[in-house]
């Protein structure tokens, strides 16, 4: 029997005491992915877009160049964050499935 079969055969929660079980459940709940990371990225993009519309920025070549750099950096961050988010969600799902294995009768 492989370790995966052993872990899936019974819940990890069945193997720990009540205090550890409660702590695991709370930590699992706290680490569940949320929508806030994407919202923060959107707010930063909105801020950059709004600042680029200012006459002060439009009339200053140095500031325009600086904001182009900000745009590029923001795009890199958003791209990296999206990739990390996907990896985070996958890892979270794998850990959650170990803590709460699906029963044969459970729906997907």
Place of tokens 């409660």: 22
User: How much is the pLDDT for 87?
Assistant: 94
Position 22 confidence tier, pLDDT thresholds 50, 70, 90: confident
pLDDT more than 70, % of the chain: 84
83-88, long-range: CB < 8 A, 24+ apart: 85/33, 85/37, 85/38, 88/33
Q: In whole angstroms, how large is the CA radius of gyration of the chain?
A: 23
Contact 92, 31 (CB under 8 A): yes
Residue 101 is given by DSSP the state P
pTM: 0.64
Domain ranges (residues) in the chain: 31-99
What is the tens place of the pLDDT at every residue in 59-107?
A: 999 989 998 999 999 999 989 988 998 999 999 999 988 888 876 555 5
């Amino acid at each position: 029997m492989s370790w995966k079969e052993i872990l899936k055969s019974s819940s990890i929660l069945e193997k720990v005491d009540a205090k550890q079980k409660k702590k695991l459940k709370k930590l699992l709940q706290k680490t569940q992915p949320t929508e806030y990371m994407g919202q923060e990225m959107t707010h930063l993009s909105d801020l950059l877009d709004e600042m680029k519309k200012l006459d002060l920025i439009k009339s200053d070549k140095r500031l325009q160049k600086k904001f182009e750099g900000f745009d590029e950096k923001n795009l890199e961050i958003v791209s990296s964050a999206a990739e990390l988010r996907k990896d985070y969600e996958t890892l979270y799902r794998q850990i959650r499935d170990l803590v709460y294995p699906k029963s044969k009768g459970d729906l997907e």
